[in-house]
Structure formats: C-alpha cells, structure tokens
Copies of this chain bind each other. A is one copy, B any other.
Amino acid sequence: MLSNACKYAIRSILYLAIHSDDSKKIGVKKIAEELESPQPFLAKLLQQLSKKNLVSSVKGPSGGFYLSKSNLENSVWNTIECIDGTDKFTKCFMGLSSCGDENPCPVHFTVAPFKQKILHDFKDRTIRDFAEEIKLKGRRISLKDFEVT
C-alpha cells in the first residue's frame, strides 16, 4: 500500500520515538541496521523528514537523529504526507475523480469505511501514542531481533 520509502520513514520515526531523545541521538547507520533498510536511501528520507520538522538532527561527532518533544506530537499522517503524499488514501480506489457517496464507483462502499478508520488512526493518534503502545504491547518495528521460536 505504502511505498518502500514511506515504510522506512514511518519505521524510522517509531524507532527513534522509542530509542532516542535529545540527549541520545542515533546515526543513520545504526537506524538502517536496526530496521534492515538501505542506508543511503534512508539517509535521504531522514533529510526530507528533517526539513519538515518530523525528526530532529544535529551534525558532528556524537550527533545523529532523534525525536524532540514536539516531534512526538506529530501524526503518522504527517509522515505519509511528507514522503508519499496522501492521494492514495483520499482518492478513489478505481481512479474516478467524481467518486463519492453520491456517485459511488463499484467498490466505493467496500473501501470507504476502511479509509475512514485508517485516516482516523493515522491522523488523530500521535507518534507518542504509537510509541507507547509499542512499548506496552511489544509491537514489532524491526525484523532484526526476530527469532522463530
């Protein structure tokens, strides 16, 4: 559904939400290893996110990326907007510009509630909320430490 770029971006942000703060920055290299994503590609993404204030960064030795208090108040939606754009969530599943409740495409009423729910979760819940749930319930954002038991 999402592009690879966007998946990497969201996972990075969640990773930073859990493992970083302004006194503990993390470099691209480390993040890329943890998430098993291509390092230079991820670097580009983090720069985009940084420009939009979705992540914070400092250069130089012992620098790196982290999430500030205010970064934590953003939504996943902000990240999707930044990387992919939100067309695929707001536009018609079948590509019809006039599709809506009054002029529904054949799958409109199948897809519409799904969109609603996803939009709600991605717009209204903050990164902080997600991070909390991840810590509390042990959600998974990496494959690295995954062992089949």
Contacts and interface: CB of A to CB of B under 8 A. Distances in A.
Copy number in the complex reads 2
A93 B1 contact: yes
A58 interface: no
B2 A93 contact: yes
A99 interface: yes
A121 B104 CA distance: 16
Given A95-B7, A111-B118, A105 B1 contact: no
Given A7-B94, A98-B140, A110-B117, 17 more contacts: A1-B88, A1-B93, A2-B95, A7-B95, A8-B95, A76-B107, A94-B141, A96-B143, A103-B140, A103-B146, A105-B139, A106-B133, A106-B139, A106-B141, A108-B139, A111-B118, A114-B114
